[in-house]
Chains A and B, each alone.
Chain A
Amino acid sequence: GQNIDQPTEMTATEGAIVQINCTYQTSGFNGLFWYQQHAGEAPTFLSYNVLDGLEEKGRFSSFLSRSKGYSYLLLKELQMKDSASYLCAVRDSNYQLIWGAGTKLIIKP
């Protein structure tokens, strides 16, 4: 079956750096997405990786290794507003999105 694994919850300190990992086993691969979801709100798009390597976008970066079925989202200079759930999703060979359950990130002052 298809599977996306990410940690359920992580805690980090304001101003620090945190890395959220995602491993996947899917039928084919057509890109990996990261979304941010604040409590009670809709998911919003953060990043997209289709080739191996690092994509940097401001304080957020996303890395992909297709051979390892692995990605991470790196958040730098953490702010309290970064407290949210982070969702990893992979597009399979049928272009359907397979979603992880999300990682709840708690930021402490």
Chain B
Amino acid sequence: TAGITQAPTSQILAAGRSMTLRCTQDMRHNAMYWYRQDLGLGLRLIHYSNTAGTTGKGEVPDGYSVSRANTDDFPLTLASAVPSQTSVYFCASSGSSNSPLHFGNGTRLTVT
């Protein structure tokens, strides 16, 4: 089934450890995004990539890094996790600046 695949579905991570959240899309979309969703808040953009080889910072980039080596993959790395990074993380993609976003099923991360 075409779309966006995120892995893992959920994870419990000890504070100070590193982790990479994986995101792969097969729609050949140029733009990809990482959001976090916390109760009572809107989706907040962490990092984005308008095309392979380029990345940009969103609203809440601190503590996170991304790479975009090719069109399909957009991994998000937490170098040293902190409890405030406990959240649900969504990866999304879009075909153009006027197109709607397609979302992956999310990764629920708990940092203890």
A residues apposed to B, CB below 8 Å = 4, 30-31, 33, 41-45, 48, 50, 87, 89, 91, 95-102
Contacts and interface: CB of A to CB of B under 8 A. Distances in A.
Interface stretch (B12-20, B41-49, B62-70, B74-82): B41-49
Q: Interface majority SS on B: helix, strand, loop or mixed?
A: loop
B interface, how many residues as a size bin? 10 to 19
Interface of B: 40-45, 48, 58, 90, 97-98, 100-106
Contact of B40 (A98, A99, A101): A101
Given A41-B106, A89-B42, 7 more contacts: A4-B42, A42-B103, A42-B106, A43-B103, A97-B43, A97-B101, A99-B42
B15 to A, nearest CB: 25
